[in-house]
């Protein structure tokens, strides 16, 4: 009987000890799960957040640099475009002023030629008409160009002779250069008749 009681007591002590150990283990496990694991999770999350934050900040820096570069490029292109536009406007204005200057100069030669022709200074008048024609061609002044050509061929050449051209030896060369320039601007054949008339009148004067 005593032995049975002792056995029961030992069994009871074993189970009590095991239970206490289980409780302690369970409490320890719960402490680990409830404190350590959340701390580890928090640490991991903070680390992950820091990495993501750094990544985002890096991307923002890259985007900022790209945006700044884009703005700089747009400014440079806009400035270049405006500069080219202004340069073209200046060139157009310059070309227009040159044309107006040549037109005015041609007008002066034309008036001078008419005065000389009226004074029977045939060769002087012819030289002034040639200078006027050259200016009108460069100024693209077709109306005055045709007037000067018609007066030269109709009024001057009939009064000229081979002897005159010999004395004014460079005049024939100037007239032939005018013919070449008429070829350069002879669009749609509008100067064909005037050119033929000019050459024919010159040839007649050279054998007169």
**21-43 residue pLDDT tens:** 655 656 665 555 556 666 666 76
Q: Given this model, what pLDDT does residue 119 score?
A: 92
Distance separating alpha carbons of residues 128 and 117, to the nearest angstrom: 10
Determine contact, residues 110/148, Cβ cutoff 8 Å.
yes
Q: What is the mean pLDDT of the chain?
A: 78
Q: Given this model, what pLDDT does residue 11 score?
A: 47
Distance separating alpha carbons of residues 159 and 207, to the nearest angstrom: 12
Q: Which of 71, 70, 74, 94 is nearest to 82 (CA)?
A: 74
Q: Given this model, what pLDDT does residue 75 score?
A: 81
pTM here?
0.61
Q: Given this model, what pLDDT does residue 37 score?
A: 63
Share of the chain above pLDDT 90, in %: 20
> Could you tell me the two tokens for 106?
């041609």
Q: CB neighbours (10 Å) of residue 78?
A: 10
Q: Given this model, what pLDDT does residue 26 score?
A: 63
Distance separating alpha carbons of residues 145 and 135, to the nearest angstrom: 9
21 — phi, psi (to 5°)? -65, -40
Determine contact, residues 167/183, Cβ cutoff 8 Å.
no
Residues 6+ apart with CB under 8 A from 99: 138, 139, 140, 141
With a cut of 50, which residues of the chain have pLDDT below it? 8, 11
């Amino acid at each position: 009987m005593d032995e049975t009681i002792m056995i029961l007591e030992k069994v009871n002590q074993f189970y009590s000890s095991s239970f206490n150990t289980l409780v302690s283990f369970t409490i320890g496990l719960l402490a680990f799960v409830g404190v350590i694991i959340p701390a580890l999770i928090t640490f991991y999350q903070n680390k992950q957040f820091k990495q993501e934050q750094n990544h985002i900040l890096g991307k923002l820096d890259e985007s900022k640099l790209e945006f700044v570069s884009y703005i700089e490029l747009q400014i440079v292109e806009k400035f270049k475009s405006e500069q080219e536009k202004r340069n073209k406007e200046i060139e157009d204005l310059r070309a227009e002023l040159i044309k107006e200057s040549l037109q005015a100069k041609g007008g002066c030669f034309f008036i001078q030629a008419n005065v000389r022709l009226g004074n029977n200074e045939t060769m002087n008048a012819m030289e002034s008409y040639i200078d006027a024609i050259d200016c009108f061609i460069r100024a693209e002044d077709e109306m005055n160009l045709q007037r000067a050509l018609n007066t030269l061929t109709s009024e001057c050449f009939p009064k000229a002779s081979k002897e005159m051209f010999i004395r004014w030896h460079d005049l024939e060369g100037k007239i032939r250069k005018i013919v070449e320039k008429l070829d350069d601007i002879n669009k749609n054949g509008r100067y064909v008749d005037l050119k033929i008339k000019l050459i024919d009148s010159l040839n007649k004067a050279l054998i007169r």
